[in-house]
Amino acid sequence: MNIQLIDWLFVVAYVVAIFVIALVSRETMHEADLKTPEEIAQEKYMANKSLTFFESICSIIATEVSALTFVGIPAFAFKNNFSFIQIYMGAVAARFIIAVVFLPRVYNQGLTIYEVMAKATGLPSGQRTVAVFYSISKVISVGVRLFSGSIMVAQFFGVSIPVALVGVTLLTLVYIQVGGLKAVVRTDILQLALFITGGVLAHYLIPNVSGQSWSDMMSMAQAAGKTSFLDFSNPWPFVIGIMGGFLFDMSTHGVDQDFAQRITANKSIRGGQYAIFFSSFISISVGLLFLSVGALLWSHYQTHPIPASVPNADHLFPHFIVNYFPTGLRGIMVAGVLAATMSVLDSTINALCATLYNDIFPKRDAKKMKLYSLIDSIIVALLILTVALIASKNDGLLLLGLKAQSWTGGSLLALFASKVIFKKWFQYRLSPVSVIGAYAFGMTGVYLNTKVLIWDWNLNVYWGFIMSTIFLKIYCTLKPMKPVAA
DSSP state string for 457-485: GGGHHHHHHHHHHHHHHHHHHHS------
Give the confidence band of 45 by pLDDT, cuts at 50, 70, 90: confident
Longest dimension (CA), the chain: 72
Cα-flanking dihedrals φ and ψ of residue 430, to 5°? -75, 105
Report residue 66 CA to chain centroid gap.
7
pLDDT at 25 over 80: no
Structure confidence at residue 439 (pLDDT): 97
pLDDT in tens, 324-380: 888 888 888 888 778 778 877 888 998 999 999 999 998 787 678 778 888 999 999
Structure confidence at residue 461 (pLDDT): 94
Virtual CA dihedral for 421, 425, 431, 432, nearest 10 degrees?
Answer: -90
pLDDT at 486 over 50: no
Give the confidence band of 447 by pLDDT, cuts at 50, 70, 90: very high
pLDDT at 275 over 90: yes
Judge contact between 173 and 377, C-beta under 8 A.
yes
pLDDT at 184 over 90: no
- Please tell me the distance from the alpha carbon of residue 468 to that of residue 464, in angstroms, as a whole number: 6
Judge contact between 53 and 271, C-beta under 8 A.
yes
- Please tell me the distance from the alpha carbon of residue 31 to that of residue 82, in angstroms, as a whole number: 48
- Please tell me the distance from the alpha carbon of residue 410 to that of residue 468, in angstroms, as a whole number: 8
Q: 340: closest CA among 68, 97, 16?
A: 68
Q: Where are the domains of the chain?
A: 5-395
Class of residue 365 by CB neighbours under 10 A (exposed 0-12, middle 13-18, buried 19+): exposed
**Average per-residue pLDDT for the chain:** 87
pLDDT in tens, 133-175: 999 999 988 887 788 778 778 888 888 889 999 999 998 888 7
The type of residue at 176 is I
pLDDT in tens, 280-313: 999 999 999 999 999 999 999 998 888 888 888 8
- Please tell me the distance from the alpha carbon of residue 455 to that of residue 437, in angstroms, as a whole number: 24
CATH superfamily of 5-395: Sodium/glucose cotransporter (1.20.1730.10)
pLDDT at 6 over 80: yes
- Please tell me the distance from the alpha carbon of residue 373 to that of residue 212, in angstroms, as a whole number: 53
pLDDT in tens, 90-136: 999 999 999 999 999 999 998 999 999 998 778 899 999 999 999 99
pLDDT at 471 over 90: yes
pLDDT in tens, 378-424: 999 999 999 888 877 765 555 566 677 889 999 999 999 999 999 88
What is the number of residues in the chain? 486
- Please tell me the distance from the alpha carbon of residue 281 to that of residue 81, in angstroms, as a whole number: 20
Cα-flanking dihedrals φ and ψ of residue 80, to 5°? -125, -105
